[in-house]
């Protein structure tokens, strides 16, 4: 459908709208008061997301902002897409913001592939809108079909369990509420509304892997193997994400326990890398024999060792780009078979050197300046703990980096008159989103404190509160769904503060940890 913008008014609540409303409320993808920036390309999926949210905005208590990013890749067709989205926003009476970038030029300049360049620039635009306060969330219209195609693409290119996780429902401020919906259901919804959309001509370009998967592979799988293949792939991705959450928590715990760091350098003992945890139960491995050496692929500790190598590499470089299975194997062989003084060179200018019983990950001399310019901090003071907040009672988090314990107490609200002094720092339990993370301050952290109209950087608040430089790197911060909700000694974020409608408050108490 190409012609026309405005669809007929459609006021009845459809099954699709009901499912979306239930999903958003259950998972807290959006909360009352959110300013939702809807990324609209002009295609059917994003137009459907906009119309769905428009029908639900009063029930959700949100405001909408139409967001469009022009990649300048398809000439007049791209211009028509931008005009279509602008007119759609105008007809629906919604605020509209657009940005344009020459993706081809950026890809050539930075030696990125075209798809990677488009993604980087598009998401940088989204983050800019969040930082400016134009939106609190950016909603993207990825569907169950997109998820299935992504998992298949990862399998065909070669992937491990991490790649099987596919697209995540949330990533910082980016929200994907349609991951459980099929593409055809969205088109049916638009046809019932009489709402037009744009078709991207490149979607049918069979030179692209994603187009071949969509147009050729998936139809064959659905016809000849299982009509539920998209659903099965989505379930697989969900299970892989659950596994990834566990692995991330375990690896971070071992990383904090074993790794010593300074600027541009991370050090771990070979013993701790190869035996990162004790699973022997004091006798054997519980499998009827002695523990296998970690350099054997059958070792139950091998998977954790490999992930620690990747985490160490990420700690130096800032990401895991370019690190392949063969590189991880090189590091493990350096630890198990080599002698002191030997080293291996990894992608991105990362060097791993054996120094007697330790491995030292560092940047090659020529890349130290690049490390500083990218502001990659590798300090032993960094920490991050997931908080499992109960409906009633308290969650206690021990932070050995500070020698402190933090107790997050869920209490009935409103509180007693004698406790009103707590109100300025108390949070509304129903407004906190998952994941809830207690971590150290990071450069760039900012939020809108209670009683303020504009966001403030925590760095500015440190200056105002005369917090010494030496204490700032470890300063505790509570992050809710990717946003700062609380910082020690500071007013809480207005978005998460208690209010007249609060039923359960959360107060945070800090004590010295004597354990």
pLDDT of residue 512: 74
pLDDT of residue 162: 85
Token pair 């300063």 in the structure block, residue: 475
pLDDT of residue 222: 95
State whether residue 304 is helix, strand or coil: helix
pLDDT of residue 5: 52
Query: How many whole angstroms separate alpha carbon 93 and alpha carbon 74?
Result: 28
pTM for this entry: 0.65
Q: Per-residue pLDDT averaged across 383-398, rounded? A: 83
Residue ranges covered by each domain of the chain: 15-240, 259-373, 384-512
> Per mean pLDDT, which range of 365-374, 379-388, 413-422 is the poorest?
365-374
Closest alpha carbon to 324 in 471, 159, 441, 202: 159
| Mean model confidence pLDDT for the chain | 85
pLDDT over 60 at 374, yes or no: no
Q: What's the pLDDT band for 108 if we cut at 50, 70, 90? A: confident
Query: How many whole angstroms separate alpha carbon 200 and alpha carbon 210?
Result: 14
Contacts of 469 (CB under 8 A, 6+ apart): none
CA triple 454-455-461, angle to 5 deg: 115
pLDDT of residue 363: 84
pLDDT of residue 296: 52
As assigned by CATH, the class of the 384-512 domain is alpha beta
CATH number, domain 15-240, options 3.40.50.620, 3.30.565.10, 1.20.1560.10, 1.20.200.10: 3.40.50.620
User: Which of 127-131, 184-188, 202-206 has maximum average pLDDT?
Assistant: 184-188
């Amino acid at each position: 459908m190409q012609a026309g913008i405005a669809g007929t008014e459609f006021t009845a609540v459809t099954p699709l709208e009901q499912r979306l409303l239930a999903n958003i409320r259950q998972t807290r993808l959006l909360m009352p008061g959110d300013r939702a920036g809807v990324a609209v390309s002009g295609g059917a999926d994003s137009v459907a997301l906009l119309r769905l949210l428009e029908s639900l905005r009063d029930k959700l208590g949100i405001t909408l902002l139409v967001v469009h990013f022009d990649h300048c890749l398809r000439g007049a067709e791209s211009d028509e897409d931008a005009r279509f989205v602008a007119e759609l926003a105008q007809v629906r009476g919604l605020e509209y913001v657009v940005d344009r970038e020459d993706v081809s030029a950026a890809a050539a300049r930075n030696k990125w592939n075209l798809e990677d360049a488009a993604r980087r620039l598009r998401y940088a635009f989204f983050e800019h809108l969040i930082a400016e306060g134009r939106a609190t969330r950016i909603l993207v219209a990825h569907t169950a079909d997109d998820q299935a195609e992504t998992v298949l693409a990862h399998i065909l290119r070669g992937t491990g369990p991490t790649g099987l996780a596919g697209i995540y429902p949330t990533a910082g401020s980016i929200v994907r509420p349609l991951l459980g919906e099929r593409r055809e259901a969205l088109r049916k919804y638009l046809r019932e509304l009489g709402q037009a959309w744009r078709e991207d001509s490149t979607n049918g370009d069979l030179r692209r892997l994603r187009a071949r998967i969509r147009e050729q592979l998936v139809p064959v799988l659905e016809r000849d193997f299982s009509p539920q293949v998209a659903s099965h792939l989505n379930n697989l991705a969900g299970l892989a994400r659950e596994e990834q959450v566990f692995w991330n928590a375990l690896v971070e715990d071992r990383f904090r326990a074993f790794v010593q760091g300074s600027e541009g350098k991370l050090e771990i003992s070979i013993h701790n890398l190869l035996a990162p945890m004790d699973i022997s139960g004091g006798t054997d491995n519980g499998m009827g024999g002695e523990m296998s050496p970690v350099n054997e692929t059958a070792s139950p500790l091998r998977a954790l060792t490999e992930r620690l190598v990747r985490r160490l590499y990420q700690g130096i470089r800032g990401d895991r780009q370019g690190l392949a299975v063969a590189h991880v194997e090189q590091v493990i062989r350096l630890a198990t078979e080599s002698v002191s003084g030997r080293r291996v060179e990894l992608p991105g200018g990362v060097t791993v050197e054996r120094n007697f019983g330790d491995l030292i990950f560092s940047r090659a001399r020529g890349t130290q300046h690049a490390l500083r310019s990218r502001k990659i901090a590798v300090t032993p003071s960094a920490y991050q703990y997931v908080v499992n907040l109960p409906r009633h009672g308290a969650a206690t988090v021990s932070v050995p980096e500070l020698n402190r314990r933090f107790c997050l107490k869920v209490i009935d609200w409103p509180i007693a008159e004698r406790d009103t002094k707590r109100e300025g720092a108390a949070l509304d339990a129903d407004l906190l989103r998952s994941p809830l993370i207690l971590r150290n301050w990071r450069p760039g952290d900012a939020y809108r404190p209670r009683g303020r109209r504009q966001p403030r950087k925590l760095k500015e608040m440190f200056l105002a509160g005369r917090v010494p430089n030496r204490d700032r790197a470890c300063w505790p911060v509570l992050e809710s769904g990717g946003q700062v909700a609380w910082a020690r000694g500071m007013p809480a974020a207005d978005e998460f503060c208690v209010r007249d409608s609060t039923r359960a408050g959360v107060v945070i108490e800090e004590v010295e940890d004597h354990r």
